[in-house]
Amino acid sequence: MKKQLSVILSVITVAAALAACGGGSSAPATTAAPAPETTAAAATEAPATEAPAAETEAAAEESGEGKVFNIYAWNEEFKGFFEKYYQVPDGVTVEWHITPSDNGAYQQKLDEALLNQENADPDEKVDMFLAEADYIVKYADDAATQDITALGVDDFSNTYNYTVQAASDADGVVKGVSFQCCPSALIYRRSIAEDVLGTSEPDEVQELLNSWDKFNAVAKDAKDKGYYMTASFAETYRVFSNNCTSPWVDADNNLQFDPQIEAWIEQTDDFIANEYTLTAGIWDDEKNKQMFADGKTMCFFGPAWYFNFCMGNAQDPEKGCSGDWAICEGPAAHFWGGTWLMAPAGTDNPTMLADIMNTFINDEDVCSKLVENEAQFSNNQAVNKKFAENPDYGSEFLGGQNDVAVFSAMTDNIKWENHTIYDQLLNEGLQNSLQEYYKGVSDKETALKNFYNYVNETYPSIITP
Amino acid sequence: MSKNVKNPKSRGVSNAKWGYLFILPFFIAYICCTLIPQVMTFYNSLFMNYRDGLKQIGPKFVGLQNYVALFSQDNSGSVGILKYFGNTIILWLMGAIPQIVVALLLAVFFTSYRLNIKGQQFFKTVIYMPNLIMASAFSMLFFTLFSPVGPVNQVLIASGWVDKAVDFLNIKISVRVLVSLMNFLMWFGNTTILLMAGIQGIDQTLFEAAQIDGANSTQVFFRVTMPLLRPILVYTVITAMIGGLQMFDVPQILTKGKGTPNRASMTLVMYLNNYLTTSKNYGMAGAVSVVLFIISAALSLIVYNSLSSQYRKPKRHRKY
Amino acid sequence: MNDRKQSDKARLQLMIIRIVVYAILIFLTFLCLVFFYMLIINSTRSNAQLQAGFSALPQGHFIDNLKNAWTDASINIPRGMLNSFLVASCCAVLTTYFSALTAYGIHIYDFRLKKPAFLFIMAVMMIPPQVSAVGFIQLMYKLKLTNNFLPLIVPSIAAPIVFFYMKQYMESVLPIEIVESARMDGAGEFRIFNQIVLPIMKPAIAVQMIFSFVQSWNNYFIPALLLDKAEMKTVPIMIAQLRSADYSKFDMGKVYMFILLAILPVLVVYLILSRFIIKGVTAGAVKG
């Protein structure tokens, strides 16, 4: 797979370089040169940001790049990293367009801007936008984004494979990069594991929970001892859905349920009936409360960002239980979330765009700081390896466990397959509809019919059963 | 509209000119900012027109096909739009009836010289306050209060009334009561102030005359206040109804846009919103809008006619 | 004797009515205030305390939350309040002035299109604003009016509901005789409206100013789709942004503080304008 990809990439790079030379006759002859140079510099030099930035600036002036760099995002997370770790070339102003994602407002805003890209003033054109895993296909597999290898972002030797696949279109053309990698782990309470399993050592726990059969059996033991296995009926959804063997819709646009989804429904039926889990949704307070020291739940699922973003209760100095946690891979490899930097077609700052992308995936210094200072699991294998192999590196929250090592070991098993542009809302819609069934409000058939109604309203092109 | 006919002097070319001039800004602004987008919406209802990801499907003329789809059975075997219309009416009535009755009572209390309520400024300020808070913030607050782990359930469990948390937001009746309660709280103060302004606009000598004639307060209310208040009351009922038919923020946020349980609290505009957000289905959304428009126009006409036909008499009396 | 008995009875009756009325008022006051109370309590609690559960007593994090909210690097709340104030005041003034003007035009003058114009406004009043929102946004994109306050202010000139209110109000307080006597005194049509009609309409204008100010201040849907530059954002956008900010900064204490800050100016404006309503008894002006 990797080999194929790199062949495709190199072919595209060559083609793009030729095209650039051919088309560049009107611009100064140096147009094509700075980009690869910048890449090389970013990849090798340690305190890279300064040097290539100066070069880019020169390049920007020569090639007449835009003075305003417009970035579209839905929150401030990446803005923080960007301002700390990226040196903006002199003479360029970065304009952030941040629209909260509530009710799909971010995508609406972005869609209007992208569809208007051709007619927009140069200073108003979208120069980069951020996208999440749940809807990245919608943008990657569309002419609204462009091939980044042609811009000089072509070294993916250190990035994780699935993050490249996710940002590629159906033909394998790469349209963006992720600055983080989000393998998701089983996060368990050490004290409860000790009680239920007789051990809290990650290796031993993994051995006891490495398949769904074992997981389900342990759920019963946990219940017998007065614990919940998970705190939300949807907790295990992603673990199943990331491993689907078929997409949500078939070739004729018929909605279909993958065996993995069926398996999740079956497992959840069982968990609810036996009270192994709560009827709370994945973001509900009812679930979050279980993260306090007096919580009765053994397992949660989440990637590196989950500790800081979602486990505030566990880290609470008074009522939390920091240090009583540990992670292991769990029943199946999966990922959750991640933010991709996407290259829109028609940007008037291609060099700077490529420079930003290279900085966040290939600049070892920046990637190290992301791990060290920002608790990210970076999208640079070499950097992560450095931390994984460092015996002194460990997370206090996880009782000293080296989470980077665990996550690194998991990355090889993550698959990016069978995704569609519909995934985000179909996954959400199914969970929302079935929650009513699990809460006992409606029967299963009604819940599924409500889901089909939702699909018809949301995606008119999908044919429901 | 016929009252000026009695005054032939006020008619004439120059006056007509002023009339057009005075209403011109309104119409220019309306046509540019609302009418053109609206006409686009209505026109869209005859087309298949939606987005599939970033790809635009259509617009392709399909005649009345969207309307046919709107009024045929959905997967649950019911006609969606009728169900959501029913929900909307129920939710509206549950909030609007207490809202208008209470507001009318309060307006009379506050303006009554006999009762001479102390601390009026305080009470008025207070009852209007819920209207100041953003609907989204207010709904969020309710959402937290009535969640399974919220304070209401904590109290209920602590006092032994229930032994398991009540899932208020997943029980049909409690969701409807909560939505109505919030709408009531947000709007009854507003309505009170409107009606008060109306009562204060009534010639005070009429009340005095009625009292001298020996009318008691109930008689004054039904014989003097009510008839003279009708124009404002009509306004209140109609705007409450328009607001009710457009009900969106509160149930949307309270039920996270799902209209739980089993879509029993999904209103017409929430349904419209379902078509607008992701799929940009202007065809279906346009059709829903047209239906919504017809329903509200019909209801408003009925209310307007029934209420205004009764006030011809007192009005003429007032106009000498 | 009989008279005194009756007046005693009447007094007792009045007292009972008073007690009932005050009881109703106090109950409603409680219902209304309890939510503000909770908002204030919540703004004094730290994020962890808020996550831990509900409490009826304040805790000592008010100053912390206030500091966090005011000095937030990404959300410039003073700027947002300034923007919101600008937009909301313009809307309040334009809406009330032009609605009154339109209502006056239709109420007083006779012209051929008078009835169609009135019926037209009545009809369009029922159309939910959500219907035109999408078309409006597209139009604004084409006109390159995003990140501009004009699309938020100009549409407020045409507010059918406010027009309807003004029209109804004029019917009850503005007899044609006032206008005619002013005409006989030689006043121009615009002067009659500005100097005679507007003062009579003061209570109605005050009421509608409050409504439209609040509506504009709290408006989220359209501004969120049109404004995205930091220095142009209005308060509701900032609050939504705070709420959907990434979870590491998900500080609920700060969120409640923002909501508190967001409603305070509206409250102040309301308190100032509500004096007009109480004073504004217009009954005497029509006599004669």
Question: Which sequence spans correspond to the domains of chain B?
Answer: 73-318
DSSP sequence for B243-303: HHHT--HHHHHHTTTS-SSTTTT--HHHHHHHHHHSS--HHHHHHHHHHHHHHHHHHHHHH
The model's confidence at residue C1, banded by pLDDT at 50, 70 and 90, is low
Query: Token pair of A195, please?
Result: 């009680």
CATH code for the part of the protein at A2-182+337-388: 3.40.190.10
Predicted pLDDT at C8: 83
For C175, residues 6+ apart whose C-beta sits below 8 A from its C-beta are B319, C286
Predicted pLDDT at A22: 36
The answer to whether the Cβ–Cβ distance between B52 and A139 falls below 8 Å is no
The model's confidence at residue C91, banded by pLDDT at 50, 70 and 90, is very high
Predicted pLDDT at C274: 63
Q: Tell me how close the Cα of A68 comes to any Cα of chain C, in angstroms.
A: 13
Distance CA B257, CA B141 (A): 16
Predicted pLDDT at A188: 95
As a whole number, mean pLDDT of residues A226-234 equals 93
Task: State yes or no: pLDDT of C92 exceeds 90.
Answer: yes
The answer to whether the Cβ–Cβ distance between A115 and B281 falls below 8 Å is no
Task: State yes or no: pLDDT of A9 exceeds 80.
Answer: no
As a whole number, mean pLDDT of residues A361-373 equals 90
Distance CA C184, CA C206 (A): 29
Reduced to 3 states (helix: H, G, I; strand: E, B; else coil), residue A275 is coil
Domain locations along chain A = 2-182+337-388, 183-335+395-402+414-458
Distance CA C115, CA B43 (A): 26
pLDDT in tens, A431-456: 989 988 998 888 899 899 999 999 98
Of A109-118, A362-371, C172-181, the one with minimum mean pLDDT is C172-181
Residue A95 backbone phi and psi in degrees, to 5: -110, 120
Predicted pLDDT at A270: 92
Predicted pLDDT at B2: 41
Predicted pLDDT at B7: 45
Predicted pLDDT at C244: 55
The answer to whether the Cβ–Cβ distance between B148 and A115 falls below 8 Å is no
Task: List chain B residues with pLDDT less than 50.
Answer: 1-13, 311-320
Question: Chain C residues with CB inside 8 Å of B29's CB?
Answer: 98, 154-155, 157-158
Nearest residue of chain C to residue B200 (CA atoms): C281
Predicted pLDDT at B4: 42
Predicted pLDDT at B319: 33
Three state DSSP letters for C236-260: HHHHHHHHCCCHHHCCHHHHHHHHH
Task: State yes or no: pLDDT of A18 exceeds 50.
Answer: no
Question: Chain B residues with CB inside 8 Å of A104's CB?
Answer: 277-278
CATH 1.10.630.10 fits B73-318, yes or no: no
Predicted pLDDT at A63: 55
Instruction: Report the length, in residues, of chain C.
Output: 288
Predicted pLDDT at A43: 38
Predicted pLDDT at A213: 94
For A185, residues 6+ apart whose C-beta sits below 8 A from its C-beta are A301, A302, A303, A327, A328, A329, A330, A403, A406, A407, A410
As a whole number, mean pLDDT of residues A359-386 equals 90
Reduced to 3 states (helix: H, G, I; strand: E, B; else coil), residue A128 is strand
As a whole number, mean pLDDT of residues A49-56 equals 45
The model's confidence at residue A52, banded by pLDDT at 50, 70 and 90, is very low
pLDDT in tens, A243-277: 899 999 998 889 999 999 999 999 999 999 999 99
Predicted pLDDT at B14: 57
CATH code for the part of the protein at C67-286: 1.10.3720.10
As a whole number, mean pLDDT of residues C32-59 equals 80
Of A157-166, B79-88, C31-40, C137-146, the one with minimum mean pLDDT is C137-146
Task: Compute how many other C-beta atoms are within 10 angstroms of the C-beta atom of residue A315.
Answer: 17
Sign for the CA dihedral angle at A221, A222, A226, A230 comes to negative
Task: State yes or no: pLDDT of C245 exceeds 80.
Answer: no
Predicted pLDDT at A266: 93
CATH architecture, domain defined by A183-335+395-402+414-458: 3-Layer(aba) Sandwich (3.40)
- As a whole number, the mean pLDDT across chain A is 83
Using a 10 angstrom Cβ sphere, with 0-12 exposed, 13-18 middle and 19 or more buried, the burial of residue A356 is: buried
For B142, residues 6+ apart whose C-beta sits below 8 A from its C-beta are B178, B182, B254
As a whole number, mean pLDDT of residues A306-321 equals 82
Task: State yes or no: pLDDT of A89 exceeds 70.
Answer: yes
Q: Tell me how close the Cα of A26 comes to any Cα of chain C, in angstroms.
A: 30
Whether the Cβ atoms of residue B73 and residue B79 lie closer than 8 Å to each other: yes
**Residue located via tokens 């019963």:** A220
The answer to whether the Cβ–Cβ distance between B76 and A111 falls below 8 Å is no
Predicted pLDDT at A269: 92
Predicted pLDDT at C52: 65
Predicted pLDDT at A407: 92
The answer to whether the Cβ–Cβ distance between A460 and B281 falls below 8 Å is yes
Distance CA A88, CA C261 (A): 35
As a whole number, mean pLDDT of residues A423-428 equals 87
Distance CA A34, CA C269 (A): 58
As a whole number, mean pLDDT of residues A104-117 equals 84
Task: State yes or no: pLDDT of C126 exceeds 80.
Answer: no
Residue type, C91: C
Distance CA C9, CA C3 (A): 10
Question: Chain B residues with CB inside 8 Å of C126's CB?
Answer: 242, 245, 293, 296-297, 300
Candidate ranges A39-48, A200-209, C71-80, C241-250; pick with highest mean pLDDT:
A200-209
Candidate ranges A318-322, A335-339, C95-99; pick with highest mean pLDDT:
C95-99
Nearest residue of chain B to residue A451 (CA atoms): B75
As a whole number, mean pLDDT of residues A121-144 equals 90
Whether the Cβ atoms of residue A65 and residue A351 lie closer than 8 Å to each other: yes
Predicted pLDDT at A256: 92
A183-335+395-402+414-458 has the same fold as A2-182+337-388: yes
Of B131-145, B169-183, C67-81, C232-246, the one with minimum mean pLDDT is C232-246
The model's confidence at residue C30, banded by pLDDT at 50, 70 and 90, is very high
Output A213 or A4, whichever has higher pLDDT. Answer: A213
Dihedral, CA of residue B281, residue B287, residue B288 and residue B291, to nearest 10:
170
Question: Chain B residues with CB inside 8 Å of C240's CB?
Answer: 136
The answer to whether the Cβ–Cβ distance between B135 and C218 falls below 8 Å is yes
Strand order across the A68-73 sheet: A93-98, A68-73, A126-132, A339-342, A176-178
Of B87-101, C20-34, C109-123, the one with minimum mean pLDDT is C109-123
- As a whole number, the mean pLDDT across chain C is 80
